[in-house]
Structure 1
């Protein structure tokens, strides 16, 4: 009897348990494939991915400091601020003030629903291209078709 490995087991083979024990985040492939279409430069994309790493539950918006984001990617706080403003102007994130009792205003929360909406808008088109590519491959292939 052959027992198929779970996705967790396959991931552990690929990355190792030690690495996965430190945590991981989900980055939808469409975000990476549509980077140019969305108009993201490399720094904007990496900041989005960093925000995704802080976003563990749908109802708990991430709230890293600009300093922490900058330290992770080697950018100064002003550069981080500028790129976050770009992402907000593009409708991909929304900054929300966060107030902590006894401390007052603290780091912003980041609403990523704009990013989710944008990727959902692009998903049908990417699916259609993927299906077209499969159909062409079944008929003999064309390696010029790329996503």
Structure 2
């Protein structure tokens, strides 16, 4: 979701248009409570990517806090666990697995006196991982569109009954 204060006029207009479409679909109060943009390819390829339902749920929670490119989300594992109904250790374990696979990078944040803050999660690797899947999907859709156009062209060129019978 882009920040309208720092967006270009075109981006701000597109964002307002998107919000209007969302309001028409979901209602003003639901949209005002917040929404999250999720790439369809992440949902469509969940199994292919090897993501468990818990992994996907964790990613959705991280996406909910990822408002701007370059500003990585940093929700606590406890908050994520409470939101999706699993233990903090499950969240910790699944994040380690997704980090090992290469879907995200975890960055430790420290405060003065060497106190830990919540981790920051860089989802750039997930974006990069999804790119070829998205490109393949777009290519397949384009091929399907071209096949449909060819079929429609053939149907349009079929001779009429009067042309065939010679009447």
TM-score interval (norm. to shorter): 0.7 to 0.9
- Of Structure 1 and Structure 2, the greater strand share is in 1
Structure 2 CA distance for partners of 1:18 and 1:104, relative to 1, 3 Å = same
TM-score of the pair, normalised by structure 1: 0.86
Paired position in structure 1 for 2:83:
72
Instruction: Extract structure 1 runs of 4+ deviating beyond 6 A.
Output: none
The answer as to 2:75 corresponding to 1:48 is no
Query: Which one has the largest radius of gyration?
Result: 2
TM-score, normalized by length of structure 2? Answer: 0.76
CA contact (8 A) 2:19 2:31 kept: no
Work out the CA distance in 2 between the residues paired with 1:86 and 1:136. Answer: 41
Larger helix fraction of residues: 2
Aligned twin of 2:109: 98
Distance 1:36 1:131 in 2: 23
Give, in whole Å, the separation in 2 of the partners of 1:56 and 1:102.
29
141, 148, 153: which is aligned to 1:130? 141
1:1-147 aligned within 5 A: 6-101=17-112, 104-138=115-149, 139=151
- The gaps in structure 1 that reach 5 residues or longer are 141-147
Shift in Å at residue 6 of structure 1?
A: 3.2
For structure 2, the residue ranges without an aligned partner over 5 or more in a row are 1-15, 153-167
Count of aligned positions? 136
Aligned residue number for residue 7 of structure 2: none
Q: CA RMSD in A?
A: 1.7
Deviation, structure 1 residue 113? 0.8
